[in-house]
Structure 1
Amino acid sequence: MTDASNDLSQLYRPVFAADLIIDALGKNPDKPAVNIGDRTMTAREMSEQVSCYVQALRSKGINAGTQMSVLALNRPEVLFNMAASQVNANRTTPLHPMGSLEDQAYVLEDCGAEVLIFDPDNFTERAEELAKRTPGIKHVLALGPTTFGEDLHALANTFTPERLVAPIVNGSDLSGIAYSGGTTGKPKGIMSTYSSGAAMTTIQMAEWQWPDEVRFLICTPLSHAGAAFFTPTLLKGGSLTVLPGFDPEKFMQTVESHRITATMLVPTMLYVLLDHPKFDQYDLSSLETIFYGAAAISPTRLSEAINRMGKIFFQFYGQAECPMTITVLRKEDHDPDNLERLASCGRPVPWVHVALLDDEGNEVPHGEPGEICVRGPLNMKGYLGKPEQTAEAFAHGWLHTGDVARADDEGFLYIVDRKKDMIITGGFNVYPREVEDVISAHPGVSAVAVIGVPDEKWGESVKAVVVVRPGHVVDADELVALVKEAKGTVQAPKSVDFVDAIPLSALGKPDKKTLRARYWGESGRQVN
């Protein structure tokens, strides 16, 4: 008997993302896995491609624990790299494709990125700028032919495929760091673990409603929610079709030609589809499940969608700190004649503990509004390098989401406001303080408050309410341009109102609740 035979260190080792990916690709080797243009790649071919990517990364000295960041629009190579980074146990941080240079450089520096992987068709110039500004970057790799850095895809194709082997990691180890804006004006690094990632996939597989045959269309950013459908689709023996982004007619063409059975949309995308003049000209009848989330949806528009497309809608609610699936609203709960129910974010899934708490950490009386707080395996490890903000998020032994909701007698939750000032516009998060900091730097601006206001297309749009300094003239378009340059197009206000004064609270702080009420009227919801 050898010493190794008595090694019990792995006796209770859980299954993590790399195990699941390897298992899925191995069980269905001859099934379609990814559609690339007119070509279909089988699971076996994808496994081989992932193996070559793993070897390419290791050949550059990129090993377990190495921090990498990815800046890319949707393309199949992003999926290969995503799977390879799991097998190679790299920590990954996506960069927002629409983010500003300043924010992206901050994220690279803050997370300690050593590797920058980028899409050469869209971000070569930005990659060069980021590499110059971030001295910690040791490797710059492109997902195709490039004039800057090294072509990772070409390097991968110099290797012979080998059997994929999952890494030995601990559940509490960091698998990635995602960045979310903060009230301090700087994004926060949300530390995700291998355990939380596996828990999310478990819940998706057990609780979410999937078609029997999954042909999944990804048109939302793989840098955000789109990536969460990668592993479950493969585990279901399904295939992925990847679009570079969301174009309504291309979406409908792809659904029709590939007989797509499932996809994920943010509400704004759904509105654009419903309003498209050619909507009724395409055969979308193959769709069995439309997953939607990332922002609150208009009950009226959702009712319209159900009446036109059927009861194929499934809502998920979560946040980066507790990803994707705190609650779900199942297909059968989508009654087009019950607008109140369609305003719900669903009921908590059985794998997490959810409570509505007041500011002292006590559960609120039934039917009263309280903050959605969560315990369970989905929760983040904390905010990178921010112990005070981590402690605040975990106050009273719960993760605080910042969303205020009430519960009905059947356990459905209804989000009525956000404790935090975050705006969700078109599925993307905008943090007012960051926009206010840019606008307030203008010499003609005396005061500014940024809020979200109802918008039929975007759910919410960013509005800047500005007080101009006496003797100055400020142009609204100039302020919008300032924000676009500093923060990116998503954060730029869709509208600017000039006022004599911004309402203040008793403590002399801007009273955004009062300000929002001017635009939200008598609506019980302060999210749209």
Structure 2
Amino acid sequence: MTENQYPWYESYPEDVPHTIGEPEYDSLYALFEDTCHKYANKTAFTSFGTSMTFREVNEKVDAFASYLQNELNVKKGDALGVILPNLIQYPICVFAGLKCGMRIVNVNPLYTAHEILSVLRDSKAQVVVTLESINARLLQIHDQTYIKTIISCNVGDYLGSFKGPFYNFAFRYLKRSVPSYDKKQIVSFKSAVEKGYNLGFSKVDINIDDVAFYQYTGGTTGKPKGAMLTHRNIISNVMQADAMYSPILNYGEETILTALPLYHIFAMTINLMFALYIGCSNILIADPRQFNTVISALKRNSDVSIIIAVNTLLNAFVTHDVFKKVKLNKLRLVVGGGTAVQEGVAKKFKEVSGVSVLEGYGLTECSPLCCALPYNNREYNGTIGVPTPSTIARIVDIHTGEEITQKNMPGELEFKGPQVMKGYFNNQKETEHVFDGEFLRTGDIAVWCDGGFIKIIDRIKDMIIVSGFNVFPNEIENVVSMLNGVIECGVVGVPSSSTGESVKLYIVRKDKTLTKELVLLHLKKYLTGYKIPKHIEFVEKLPKSPVGKVLRRYLRQNRFDS
């Protein structure tokens, strides 16, 4: 496609530019510092009902950066491991590290010691900031890593003189979530920040094309791959998100709900970096699995105007009758991503909230946003929207590699743009495999639709082949999600002696009167015969990642312990 042949431009609203231009900042720390100066007295983050202004956060970032530089002698290019849930300490650590020119390594705090080891060893992180409950796991693997210093946060560090000790006591002794560990090997985060207030700081020269994050992907299924995301990558992605959504937003006046974990690329870029860019107040939810805490947070902060969510979280808003319990009168932007938003969920969410879900699409290697539904799109259309400004998309035949320009012809989706990673850290083989010339391969099968919209059919690896016919789990899950008695569902292929593979459907139901026979009657209205599941099983829950993606590999293994 040439510049004049990009079909998605016709679907852009008039006030959305085709390109974003050069980044406005030299580094992510510069973006953070500018926001803190513009909105110094505005609430920046709220955690467990306690808030901190941008000025207060900036002061703590400066102090922690001074500690890292003077006490630990960190240098530009060193890796800083961050193993934290959504607490105020997370942005403090990240921006202090970035100010020092470090490369941030986000690690899922739910990982086992073995999974943490694979990421920390690959990234060569020498300094790690973590939660007290994870210290024991880290000390188990300490000798197998490059770690020199472990800095430990407590949940109550910045919750005040009464609430802070109470929360710490509850987590240690009532919930028993802190295994015993050798305190002599651990540095207190709060004391490190206090010490940093009395230390100076030597400015670090940061280039916009320096690596800012090693963002790991695939670490639980094999050798972890650290996507090297530069300051340019993420700032560009922030500007792309701003171009798509800013016409309906007011800088300095928005409040965003952050229930997705910030260590995940979707939330890290949109809920943290983009939210900072527009001067947003941020409501941090440490554990969205405890959905009552989400409802309580919304009751305390009913001025939430932006929600970023995965399909599971959107569904929870519906099933928990959130909009009957809380009046979110300022809600104007709801973005779904991280995994496919199902039609049934999107329609039910709009029915109860009055706000359309604007689905977006991305991947870790693209910082992550590549496509988004334009802000003026008011109805679910089953697509991931259009490529964001300065992003070029193409679909290629999975067998020949030839570009497909016709509508409704499936092929692999590929992207190029300023948000695409530099490559995988210390992994040239995987880097070469994921790039197709200048384009990054996604591993997703997609088709072109009218107006340059793109529809994801499914992951190449999740495709089911029944008697030679291609069957895509997403299509079946979408149809099942339309049933009122279904909370959520998952579809996988299982071996079959007669057809090679057959379709198996797992359903979590809220209505026990929903039977296999009723499900089949519904499916037969929408799907051809070979797509109809041969096996239907009702289960109490589905295995999910911390972000809420249904883990199909566990379904194939019949594992529900995630």
- Normalising by structure 2, we get a TM-score of 0.71
Q: Given the alignment of the two structures, is residue 273 of structure 1 paired with residue 317 of structure 2, yes or no?
A: yes
Out of 187, 191, 200, the residue aligned to residue 154 of structure 1 is 191
Deviation at 1:305, TM superposition (A): 0.8
Q: In structure 2, the residue corresponding to 1:52 is in which secondary structure?
A: helix
Q: Given the alignment of the two structures, is residue 369 of structure 1 paired with residue 410 of structure 2, yes or no?
A: yes
Deviation at 1:13, TM superposition (A): 9.9
Deviation at 1:466, TM superposition (A): 11
Deviation at 1:377, TM superposition (A): 0.9
Change (3 A) 1:351 1:463: same
Structure 1 contact 67–90 (Cα < 8 Å) conserved: yes
Structure 1 contact 69–108 (Cα < 8 Å) conserved: yes
Deviation at 1:61, TM superposition (A): 1.2
Q: Given the alignment of the two structures, is residue 297 of structure 1 paired with residue 341 of structure 2, yes or no?
A: yes
For 1:493, the equivalent position in structure 2 comes to 554
RMSD (CA atoms):
3.3
Out of 283, 302, 316, the residue aligned to residue 241 of structure 1 is 283
Deviation at 1:87, TM superposition (A): 1.2
Query: 1:219 and 1:183 mapped to 2: Cα distance?
Result: 23
Q: Matched residue pairs, number?
A: 436
Query: 1:350 and 1:236 mapped to 2: Cα distance?
Result: 18
Letter in 2 for 1:345: I
Out of 342, 361, 386, the residue aligned to residue 317 of structure 1 is 361
Q: How does 1:348-363 map to 2 (within 5 A)?
A: 348-359=387-398, 360-363=400-403
Change (3 A) 1:464 1:132: farther
Structure 2 contact 44–57 (Cα < 8 Å) conserved: yes
Unaligned runs of 5+ in 1: 1-11, 424-450, 468-479, 499-528
Query: 1:22 and 1:223 mapped to 2: Cα distance?
Result: 21
Change (3 A) 1:464 1:181: farther
Out of 238, 243, 248, the residue aligned to residue 201 of structure 1 is 238
Query: 1:466 and 1:416 mapped to 2: Cα distance?
Result: 23
Q: Given the alignment of the two structures, is residue 250 of structure 1 paired with residue 293 of structure 2, yes or no?
A: yes
Query: 1:459 and 1:131 mapped to 2: Cα distance?
Result: 40
Deviation at 1:164, TM superposition (A): 8.7
Unaligned runs of 5+ in 2: 1-22, 158-180, 465-472, 482-486, 498-540
Q: How does 1:405-424 map to 2 (within 5 A)?
A: 405-421=446-462
Query: 1:71 and 1:99 mapped to 2: Cα distance?
Result: 9
Q: Given the alignment of the two structures, is residue 141 of structure 1 paired with residue 185 of structure 2, yes or no?
A: no
Deviation at 1:101, TM superposition (A): 2.3
* % identical aligned pairs: 23
Change (3 A) 1:363 1:74: same
Deviation at 1:388, TM superposition (A): 2.4
Q: Given the alignment of the two structures, is residue 56 of structure 1 paired with residue 56 of structure 2, yes or no?
A: no
For 1:115, the equivalent position in structure 2 comes to 127
Q: In structure 1, the residue corresponding to 2:367 is in which secondary structure?
A: strand
Q: How does 1:11-50 map to 2 (within 5 A)?
A: 15-50=26-61
* Cα deviation digits, residues 392-411 of structure 1 (max 9, x gap): 21123311111111111211
Structure 1 contact 19–166 (Cα < 8 Å) conserved: no
Q: In structure 1, the residue corresponding to 2:451 is in which secondary structure?
A: coil
Q: How does 1:178-189 map to 2 (within 5 A)?
A: 178-181=215-218, 185-189=222-226
Query: 2:26 and 2:65 mapped to 1: Cα distance?
Result: 20
Q: In structure 2, the residue corresponding to 1:157 is in which secondary structure?
A: helix
Letter in 2 for 1:377: P
For 1:216, the equivalent position in structure 2 comes to 256
Q: In structure 1, the residue corresponding to 2:115 is in which secondary structure?
A: helix
* Cα deviation digits, residues 449-473 of structure 1 (max 9, x gap): xx99848556646787699xxxxxx
Deviation at 1:284, TM superposition (A): 2.7
Change (3 A) 1:142 1:13: same
For 1:382, the equivalent position in structure 2 comes to 423
Query: 2:226 and 2:345 mapped to 1: Cα distance?
Result: 34
* Cα deviation digits, residues 142-191 of structure 1 (max 9, x gap): 12379351012221112338999974223332211111117983222211
Query: 1:71 and 1:198 mapped to 2: Cα distance?
Result: 23
Change (3 A) 1:494 1:42: same
Query: 1:263 and 1:322 mapped to 2: Cα distance?
Result: 21
Query: 2:378 and 2:449 mapped to 1: Cα distance?
Result: 16
Query: 1:244 and 1:26 mapped to 2: Cα distance?
Result: 27
Deviation at 1:25, TM superposition (A): 0.4
* Cα deviation digits, residues 102-123 of structure 1 (max 9, x gap): 2221111111111121111x31
Q: Pick which of 206-215 and 178-187 moved more.
A: 178-187
Q: Pick which of 85-94 and 144-153 moved more.
A: 144-153
For 1:103, the equivalent position in structure 2 comes to 115
Q: In structure 2, the residue corresponding to 1:377 is in which secondary structure?
A: coil
Q: In structure 1, the residue corresponding to 2:395 is in which secondary structure?
A: strand
- Normalising by structure 1, we get a TM-score of 0.75
Out of 228, 232, 237, the residue aligned to residue 274 of structure 2 is 232
Structure 1 contact 73–244 (Cα < 8 Å) conserved: yes
Q: Pick which of 181-190 and 452-461 moved more.
A: 452-461
Letter in 1 for 2:255: R
Q: In structure 2, the residue corresponding to 1:264 is in which secondary structure?
A: strand
Letter in 2 for 1:236: I
Letter in 1 for 2:189: L
* Cα deviation digits, residues 305-361 of structure 1 (max 9, x gap): 1121123432221100112321101343231xxx5x1x1000111211111122444
Deviation at 1:98, TM superposition (A): 2.6
For 1:88, the equivalent position in structure 2 comes to 100
Change (3 A) 1:159 1:179: closer
